[in-house]
Amino acid sequence: MEKIRLGIIGLGQRGYGLLKDNIVKLQEYYNVTALCDVYEDRIEQASKTVVENGMEKPFGTTDYNELLMRDDVDAVLISCAWEYHVPVACAAMKAGKAVALEVGGAYSVEDCFLLVNTWEETKVPFMFMENCCYDKYELLATSMARKGVFGEIVHCSGSYSHDLREEVTRGKENRHYRLRNYLNRNCENYPTHELGPIAKLLDINRGNRMVSLVSVASKSCGMEAYVEKHKDTMNPELIGVDFKQGDIVHTIITCAGGETILLKLDTSLPRYYSRDFTVRGTEGFYEQAPNIVFLEKDVDHTIFESTTSVVKHLNNGKEYEEKYLPDIWKNITEEQIKSGHGGMDSIEFIEFAKAYLAGEEMPIDVYDAASWMVISVLSEKSIAQGGAPMDIPDFTGGKWTMRERRDVVPM
């Protein structure tokens, strides 16, 4: 079988993690031929990992243009800092390389149009690598929705609820881009983990579209309190510094179909991890945090204490797996589950490879990328204007009315 000769641009936590935990284990599909990062030590580490896993020593460079000029690269995984996602992806497309673009929010509406326009000019295979579109619970609920179990869908919500206080405040040591974003910006800076699966479920850009949003941020206290509490071991540059990023940001999106989407960014206060993927319909709902499926048959007007209901239905999502869980999750291997984020990364990289090698349409395309990434920009504007509604551009130029559903895996 043909393999994808892959270049990786960006070898930090995410890029190196994907290489080490997934790509070297998927040599059936991938041969890593080139590596790029602005830091030499990261290239060296990644190169060693590639060689140790039986591939030839890849080309290494600190200049992504050098990587993009090479004939031995078919596709690039772009996992650099958020600020470089669009320029690197556009350069790669212009160089005729297929693009697997890691997730993150955008910084301008124009950048999102640039991404779309560059793809429309080049038409190279392009996939937005939103791994959460491939996670088990999102796919279970999507499959149930597709089979009509929840009736007409009227609302979805989700969050990026992830205590990042340590990661962000160690940003200097770790050379991580989140720190500068949290210091300077105030927005829904990372919308796609929750929005991606919701947008796929609601057929966004394929029969539906996101029309407008409002976004509101709480004050910013979490990072500063964390810095103060850990000041003995803290990077001294952060002590007493004002973080602009609000602790909790809510964004409400309205869709052409009348559905609403609630997003929450919740990353600088103590909490447990959750994406809170929730699907609400006229016949029932799915709630990810307690893994609850609740249908008409479960309605009980005698219970007013919510804890009683949570206890009663907790984790009953399991009971629906046999009937509704997509095959890709039914057939997942132990090795895949261990290979990063519980298996979704592995599935995602296999799906990218399969679509690329078969010359098929990518499951998450440039219109998805642009419309999901632009939420950060519009959220920033809305927050700055006291929650004012912002129009969400139609990146398909009206083609959403004729484009057909494309689920990320068969349902």
Q: Whose Cβ is closer to a copy of itself: residue 45's or residue 254's?
A: 254
Q: CA-CA distance, 117 to 347, in Å (whole number)?
A: 29
Q: CA-CA distance, 354 to 346, in Å (whole number)?
A: 12
Q: Whose Cβ is closer to a copy of itself: residue 118's or residue 142's?
A: 142
Please report, as residue ranges, which positions from 315 to 334 form the binding site for a copy of itself (by CB under 8 A).
315, 317
Q: Whose Cβ is closer to a copy of itself: residue 49's or residue 186's?
A: 186
- Determine the interface stretch with a copy of itself among 80-88, 113-121, 186-194, 262-270 (rule: CB under 8 A): 262-270
Please report, as residue ranges, which positions from 136 to 155 form the binding site for a copy of itself (by CB under 8 A).
151-152, 154-155
The torsion defined by the Cα of 33, 332, 200 and 106, in degrees rounded to 10, comes to: -40
Q: Is 341 in the site for a copy of itself (CB under 8 A)?
A: yes
Please report, as residue ranges, which positions from 10 to 39 form the binding site for a copy of itself (by CB under 8 A).
none
> Within a 13 Å sphere around the CA of 258, how many CA atoms are in the beta-carbon half?
4
Q: Whose Cβ is closer to a copy of itself: residue 122's or residue 254's?
A: 254
Q: Whose Cβ is closer to a copy of itself: residue 69's or residue 310's?
A: 310
Q: Which helix (H) or strand (E) holds 42?
A: helix 40-52
DSSP string, 331-359: T--HHHHTSSGGGHHHHHHHHHHHHHHHT
Among 272, 334, 359, 402, indicate the residue that binds a copy of itself (CB under 8 A). 272
- Please check whether residue 156 is in contact with residue 210, taking contact to mean a CB–CB distance below 8 angstroms: no
Least Cβ distance, residue 405 to a copy of itself (angstroms): 20
Q: CA-CA distance, 355 to 34, in Å (whole number)?
A: 21
Q: Is 306 in the site for a copy of itself (CB under 8 A)?
A: yes
User: Could you tell me how many residues of this chain bind a copy of itself (CB under 8 A)?
Assistant: 73
Least Cβ distance, residue 43 to a copy of itself (angstroms): 28
Least Cβ distance, residue 109 to a copy of itself (angstroms): 18
Give which of 196, 208, 262 is closest to 408, Cα–Cα: 196
Q: Is 207 in the site for a copy of itself (CB under 8 A)?
A: no
How far are the Cα atoms of 112, 286, 383 from residue 136, in angstroms, in the given order? 29, 13, 33
Least Cβ distance, residue 159 to a copy of itself (angstroms): 10
Q: Whose Cβ is closer to a copy of itself: residue 51's or residue 221's?
A: 221
Sequence-separated (6 or more) residues with CB below 8 Å from residue 244:
182, 183, 184, 185, 186, 220
Q: CA-CA distance, 363 to 352, in Å (whole number)?
A: 8
Q: CA-CA distance, 392 to 371, in Å (whole number)?
A: 8
Q: CA-CA distance, 327 to 360, in Å (whole number)?
A: 20
Among 17, 113, 290, 355, indicate the residue that binds a copy of itself (CB under 8 A). 290
Q: CA-CA distance, 161 to 265, in Å (whole number)?
A: 6
Structure tokens at 171: 């940003």
Among 44, 83, 276, 321, indicate the residue that binds a copy of itself (CB under 8 A). 276
Give which of 381, 103, 395 is closest to 251, Cα–Cα: 381
**Angle (deg, nearest 10), helices 85-94 and 109-122:** 20
Alpha-carbon Rg of the chain, whole angstroms?
21
Q: Is 281 in the site for a copy of itself (CB under 8 A)?
A: yes
Among 71, 232, 305, 404, indicate the residue that binds a copy of itself (CB under 8 A). 305
> Within a 13 Å sphere around the CA of 318, how many CA atoms are in the beta-carbon half?
5
The amino acid at residue 411 is M
Please report, as residue ranges, which positions from 210 to 229 form the binding site for a copy of itself (by CB under 8 A).
212-214, 216-219, 221-222, 225-226
- Determine the interface stretch with a copy of itself among 32-40, 65-73, 112-120, 280-288 (rule: CB under 8 A): 280-288
Q: Whose Cβ is closer to a copy of itself: residue 79's or residue 215's?
A: 215
Please report, as residue ranges, which positions from 93 to 132 form the binding site for a copy of itself (by CB under 8 A).
none
Least Cβ distance, residue 377 to a copy of itself (angstroms): 17
Q: Give the x-and-dash track for 375-404 against a copy of itself (CB under 8 A).
A: ----------xxxxx---------------
- Determine the interface stretch with a copy of itself among 24-32, 187-195, 196-204, 275-283 (rule: CB under 8 A): 275-283
Q: Is 299 in the site for a copy of itself (CB under 8 A)?
A: yes
Please report, as residue ranges, which positions from 150 to 189 form the binding site for a copy of itself (by CB under 8 A).
151-152, 154-155, 161, 163, 166
